[in-house]
Structure 1
Amino acid sequence: MKKVSFAEFGGPDVLHLIDAEEPHAGPGRIRIAVRAAGVNPVDWRLREGQVLGAHPVELPSGVGLDAAGVVDEIGEGVEGVEIGDHVFGEGESTYAEFAILGAWARMPDGLTFEEAAGYPSVVETALRVISETGVRPGQTLLVSGASGGVGSAVLQIARERGIKVIGTAGAANQDYLRSLGALATTYGEGWVERVRRLGTVDAAIDVAGSGVICELVELTGDPRKVISTADLGAPELDVRFSGVAGSVPDALAEAVDLISRGKLHIPVEKSYALADAAAAHIDSQAGHTRGRRVVVI
């Protein structure tokens, strides 16, 4: 099969499309013929060699955690899924023609493979960080860098829970944030005062890693009310860096429920061929994403 791999840490140029042996589903796992794989910041962080405890890397390594596709192999002890089912979930080396998933769910009706591939890690992260902030219904949550996949999910899930949301993003994404139910403002000079004019902030989440931790602490008044998924230096300012995954199966179940009820929708901004994985990483690292990017097989 074809898969994307890297044999050394570095920039996007270390990614190569190679011929590889097909993986097979062990106990408690399934194999899918991948139709689309989600492009997540964790993918290029691992490629660069950043130390993220939940995802140790052994070289050479495949790329990708999220995928959607068709079940074609079922491991021992797996129940409730059949060959031919359309599923989405989380596994390993998903930028490939075949991948093993450790957590999965049937795709909601009406969802394309490209759309489905963008949800697993994003929804898990969104649910986890909302919980970690301790924000409650009726309070206000600020999301810094809110237009990407995790930000989009956080805004919608928080709103569904009765939490008021404020999002910062570039000028081109202001209407998009408003469409998700957020009060929106741009980042850049004077952004803290612009946020203050929108309301008191009870908790904040940094999903962009753009060096705003001090300002988020200032707005909330307490570093314990700030969570970052993107700034590895956050702990130096007594802010929690949340990079360890929670329950992916529970997150997938909640994603199915929210999507089926029309309460969660994350658009796919751009799709890439498997051979263009490096371009997908370049664009992901550049930021300014509206929704998700996916690799299509």
Structure 2
Amino acid sequence: MILGQFFALLTAGCWAHNSIVYSAAGKRVGSRAVTHIRLWIALPVMFLLHLLFCGSPYPLGLSSSVYLFLGLSGLFGFCVADLFIFRAFVDLGPRETMVVMTLSPIFGAILSRIFLGEILSPLQMLGIAATVGGVIWVILEEGARSRGIQRQSGTEEDQRTKRTGAFFALGGAFTQAVGMFLAKAGLAQGIHPFSANLLRLSAGLIGLVLYATVRKSLVSDFAALIHDRKALLLTANGALVGPILGIVLSLYALTWAPVGIVTALMQTSPIFLLPIDRLYFKKRVSKGAVAGTITAIVGTALLFL
């Protein structure tokens, strides 16, 4: 249980790293191209790792329910959720989207309670609430600081765009929770996390290829990164840390800990970004952000008790 929670925190660290890397790459070639091509980089690496650690290049001979659960998990987690989230980043804004995404642990806890019979103790629910509350505090505090005292009422069209963005952010939170829940259901049948990740990556890539084909950008996505070596290196870096290391850590975490707790700890990536902002980017960290961080740390400590 404790090891699973620790792995969930390591996953959050991977997401914090990738938020910086993918942001830099996305600014150069576009976020949709990065979202798509990262899986083309990650999948061959996962083939090799599966061969080294599991003895075969691809998991075969599993039950149909395992392929169904993990295939749908990859489709929701790597394709649908990411498309929702990146659209929300544009229409709603990154910080507001991150606030809405903190609903994912609640959705995950409800789904796992109904379908998997996972019951959280009052202390665990308090820990989730404190962790999520602290993360929301940090996001809102840093967002208010970056905006300063400026206020924009916005036109009716702007407000409509914001509402659309909120819908996509909510869809991202729900589909991310669905992806975690389905992964837990597949892992419950005893499959190795490396095999689970390879199946999820395969399904996610198929979904993204179909999406790119429909929007007629399959070739242009590759061309964008081939012609921008720095963006390609950044995307490759993110692919190794995110879809490989981060997802494998999250699957190990799901093997040992409840879905609600794992998804709550995975949402702490904004906390990891604060020291990076202070030490690397030399940004001032507000007292409110520090207080929110302390609240999230207390909530995380409650989950480890």
Superposed pair shares fold, TM > 0.5: no
The one of the two structures with greater contact order (alpha-carbon pairs below 8 A, sep at least 6) is 2
TM-score range, shorter chain: under 0.3
TM-score by length of structure 2 reads 0.26
Return the TM-score normalized by structure 1: 0.26
| Structure with the higher fraction of residues in helix conformation | 2
Structure number having the greater strand percentage: 1
